[in-house]
Amino acid sequence: MNQSKQYLTILWLSLSLALLVPIRTSAANLFIIVEGVEAELEKNVLSYMTINQEKDNKKLGEDRIRRYFQMGNQEIKDALKPFGYYHTFVQSEIKQQDNEWRLYYKITPGPSVKISEIDIRVSGTGETESQIQEVITKFPLKFNDTAIHALYEQGKTALLRATTAQSYLDAKYSKSQLIIDPQTNKATIHLHLETGDPYFFGKIKFQAVKIKESLLRRYLEFKEGDRYSGKAVLELQAALESSSYFATVAVIPERDLATNYKIPIKVELSMNKPNKYDLGAGYGTDTGIRGRVRWNRRVLGSHGHTFDVQATVSQIKQEGRISYYIPWRNPRNNRIEIGAGLQNKETVTYDSIDKSLGTSLQLKYRKWRETNSLHLEETQFNVGEEGWRITQLLVLGTSLTQLNVDNYKLIRHGTKYGFGLLGSWDQALSDISFLRAEVSGKLILGLTKHGRVLLRGKLGAMTVSDFDLLPPKYRYFAGGDSSIRGYEYESQGPTNEFGKVIGGQRIIETSVEFDYAIGENWRAAVFWDGGNAFDARGDPMIQGAGVGVRYVLPIGMVRVDVAQAISEPDKPWRVHITIGPDL
């Protein structure tokens, strides 16, 4: 009897639970058709609608579809109000066939609400600041514009941000309103901003560390008494972090300790580990497999000097270099290098052994980087199987480079320019005189959402007293991954009487490439390269063209190109593999 009661109890509970759980329809094929508004408005309308948010819900049944459909009319009206439409009329219809649902919404936005009055006032000591007044003149809503709420908020935020950027940290709105009158279709803007008084930098205190405070203060681009700038504080933080001296950096504005509107600045620092060791490896068609080992002494003494030893090995080049760096004037951007190097290089056109000792001054002006150098060099070389020669040169050089990119991982818009001038004089520790000038540039343009055009060009020319004694690293050769694809690295140029390439005194290189996204991190490319190293007008130019694939990494692109040497009689194909940034 007890077992029967227990069975009946379990049966009753099971039936009760079954009645409580609603029966679900299978996932519906749901289509929402919105007509009568432009794409941007349609996107906002759909984002507001519950039925659109739930359309992929596998548990969406008929009752909920119909309920959400009815809610859609009001949701559409609410979605259009921030765009200035307060008189929206919606006609809707729902159609069902088997398990397919079609929801139609025909929208008539009606007349928009227009801006009839703009009342922007700035009071306080900052009311005449030109930067603040400029933001007011550029306020995104003008008289008789449609009252778009987002533009009002954008302008309101920009005005307050510009005011605080001018050191008015206490700035606030005493009145901020966008008043909508749907009856008259008019809107009024009221923005009353009180700037308060400006703030200034107070005393700047550095935490005691191994580095002399006199060097740390050279990182400052502001001083006590200057107008306070949050941007300047962040830039100081970034500059100290990039110095490599410190493990942690904290630049702290102590606003709660401000007196007479002067904010003390406290800089907290902790020293980095003194030594840094790096191992690296890579591959490129020009170099083959390559490896690198590096030891960097982050700081030597209290004056911020650093020491660097580096060795690189590849299939065509072996190099060792020792560098000693001294901060100069503004240590953020300027330093002196004293260095020595030894390099052995073997290509299809020449062999060379270079020894160098010299110094360089590295400067930065805004986006431009300048390097001025003086090196004493001795080079043993054999070019075009003409036999080994030895040349000593005292080379004076200067170069300028500029890089502009919008995104280092995948550049959509970017430029890189380079200018160089170097030479020697046979009356100053040099066997020959020469002067070489060079200009280069790269341009990336994102023409479509998924496509880019990459342009590259290089021009170079020289005059030399004895070309036969000019080391190969100062001659011009063409061909390779970053030159004219389809040809081996530095395999092209003027030849001697034996038909061996010996390099030229001039160079022209051009490249046009188009790549297109074919996946999240994959891109396909087509390209054409042209130019050559030459001595005189009329010397032959060469061309290469082909296709490639790219894979986007945080460090840049992995590129695999298959290029054809169009100018060769048998038009051979060559594979080029490179890893690195576009610019």
Per-residue confidence (pLDDT) for residue 538, from 0 to 100: 79
Per-residue confidence (pLDDT) for residue 16, from 0 to 100: 38
Percent of the chain with pLDDT over 70: 95
Q: What is the pLDDT of residues 325-337, one digit of tens each?
A: 999 999 999 999 9
Rounded-to-integer distance, Cα 391 and Cα 340, Å: 17
3-state class (DSSP) for residue 373: strand
Q: What is the pLDDT of residues 73-108, one digit of tens each?
A: 999 999 999 999 999 999 999 999 888 899 999 999
What is the average per-residue pLDDT within 114-138?
A: 96
Q: What is the pLDDT of residues 445-495, one digit of tens each?
A: 999 989 999 999 999 999 999 999 999 999 999 999 999 999 999 999 999
For residue 258, is pLDDT > 80? yes
Q: Is the dihedral of CA 204, 209, 213, 215 positive or negative?
A: negative
Q: Are 224 and 213 in contact (CB under 8 A)?
A: no
Which of 248, 225, 224, 223 has the alpha carbon at shortest distance from 237? 248
Per-residue confidence (pLDDT) for residue 2, from 0 to 100: 45
For residue 253, is pLDDT > 90? yes
Angle at 498 between CA 496 and CA 504, to 5 degrees: 20
Q: What is the pLDDT of residues 362-397, one digit of tens each?
A: 999 888 999 999 999 999 999 999 999 999 999 999
Q: Are 487 and 511 in contact (CB under 8 A)?
A: no
Antiparallel, parallel or unpaired: β 317-327 and 114-123: unpaired
Kindly report the number of other CB atoms within 10 A of residue 387's CB atom. Answer: 8
DSSP string, 420-472: EEEEE-TTSS-SS-EEEEEEEEEEEE--SSSEEEEEEEEEEEEEES-GGGS-G
**pTM summary value:** 0.80
Per-residue confidence (pLDDT) for residue 20, from 0 to 100: 34
- Per-residue tokens: 297: 């002494």
Domains of the chain: 22-108 (3.10.20.310), 114-194 (3.10.20.310), 200-271 (3.10.20.310), 346-580 (2.40.160.50)
Antiparallel, parallel or unpaired: β 114-123 and 186-194: parallel
What is the average per-residue pLDDT within 410-421?
A: 96
Instruction: Please identify which residue in the block is written with the tokens 């904010």.
Output: 263
Rounded-to-integer distance, Cα 314 and Cα 312, Å: 7
Q: What is the pLDDT of residues 483-542, one digit of tens each?
A: 999 999 999 999 999 999 999 999 999 999 999 999 989 999 999 999 999 998 778 999
Rounded-to-integer distance, Cα 271 and Cα 209, Å: 7
Name the pLDDT band for 28 (thresholds 50, 70, 90): low
Rounded-to-integer distance, Cα 61 and Cα 73, Å: 20
Kindly report the number of other CB atoms within 10 A of residue 199's CB atom. Answer: 22
For residue 1, is pLDDT > 80? no
Name the pLDDT band for 578 (thresholds 50, 70, 90): very high
For residue 219, is pLDDT > 80? yes
Per-residue confidence (pLDDT) for residue 15, from 0 to 100: 33
Instruction: Please identify which residue in the block is written with the tokens 């929208």.
Output: 107
Per-residue confidence (pLDDT) for residue 99, from 0 to 100: 82
Q: What is the pLDDT of residues 347-358, one digit of tens each?
A: 999 999 999 999
Name the pLDDT band for 24 (thresholds 50, 70, 90): very low
Q: Is the dihedral of CA 468, 418, 552, 572 positive or negative?
A: negative
Look at phi and psi of residue 530 and say left if phi exceeds 0, alpha if psi is from -120 to 50, else beta: beta
Per-residue confidence (pLDDT) for residue 60, from 0 to 100: 86
Please list the residues that pair with 526 across neighbouring strands: 514, 547
Name the pLDDT band for 57 (thresholds 50, 70, 90): confident
